[in-house]
A and B are shown apart, each in its own frame.
Chain A
Amino acid sequence: SQTIHQWPATLVQPVGSPLSLECTVEGTSNPNLYWYRQAAGRGLQLLFYSIGIDQISSEVPQNLSASRPQDRQFILSSKKLLLSDSGFYLCACSAYGNTIYFGEGSWLTVV
């Protein structure tokens, strides 16, 4: 089964600073990869999904970008963070079906 590693687990960043959240997947090849954001412990919002290397779709316009330099690596970035970027970010993957497996998440606080 898939294992998702996501880091850092928590970070506090000042407004205007850059961001890089990393996610790697083990136990599968050619997975679909996702970045979700969750605000206030409620519903999840899909930010980006990728069906292959350098194939990334953005779901909502925002201050963030995503990259997939390798098959099992997915990176969420920002050049300049906003206060509104604070939240809980979850990397996820799926393969051979619709079940999505999640990482443990990254808490981002922008101050």
Chain B
Amino acid sequence: SQQGEEDPQALSIQEGENATMNCSYKTSINNLQWYRQNSGRGLVHLILIRSNEREKHSGRLRVTLDTSKKSSSLLITASRAADTASYFCATGGSNAGGTSYGKLTFGQGTILTVHP
């Protein structure tokens, strides 16, 4: 079954507005990551938040993590047309023999459209 589930499935906003995407997961995690994918391209890593962190910032991105609710949110402030893409949360990270092999489980993604 899918571990991460994004909400909403699609989001359409105007340039300058903030975009908030949510992710819920089912099992305990070591970390949660957000990725971005432009249409027909590979995924680009945005930010990683560890299970002992509650909030993290990177430029216009703000990620929160609530392990008690098993949920995370990605906020993009002052959105731009270039932010149009699909955004995925991914959960995982476990240690095997002392080596983290970073196996991730991805959600279905949120398609963000930012209109100029």
The yes or no verdict on A and B being binding partners is yes
Question: Is the CB of A41 closer than 8 A to any CB of chain B?
Answer: yes
- Is there contact, CB below 8 Å, between A105 and B102? no
Partner of B109, one of A43, A97, A99, A103: A43
- Assess the B93–A98 pair: CB atoms within 8 A: yes
Number of interface residues of B (CB under 8 A): 30
Is the beta-carbon distance between B41 and A105 smaller than 8 angstroms? yes
Beta-carbon contact of A100 and B45 below 8 Å = yes
User: B18 at the A/B interface (Cβ < 8 Å)?
Assistant: no
Within 8 Å CB of B41, what residues of A? 104-105
Contact between B40 and A98 (Cβ–Cβ < 8 Å)?
no
Query: Contacting chain B: which of A13-21, A44-52, A60-68, A71-79?
Result: A44-52
Q: Is the CB of B107 within 8 A of A43?
A: yes
Tell me if A99 and B33 are in contact (CB < 8 A).
yes
Residues from chain A with Cβ under 8 Å of B43 in the complex: 44, 90, 92, 102
A98 engages B108 (CB within 8 Å): no
Q: B84 at the A/B interface (Cβ < 8 Å)?
A: no
B2 to chain A, nearest CB (A): 7
Chain B residues positioned under 8 Å from A104 (CB to CB): 41-42
* A10-47 contacts to B (CB < 8 Å): 32, 34, 36, 41-44, 46
Enumerate chain A interface residues (CB-CB to B < 8 A). 4, 6, 32, 34, 36, 41-44, 46, 49, 51, 88, 90, 92, 94, 97-105, 107
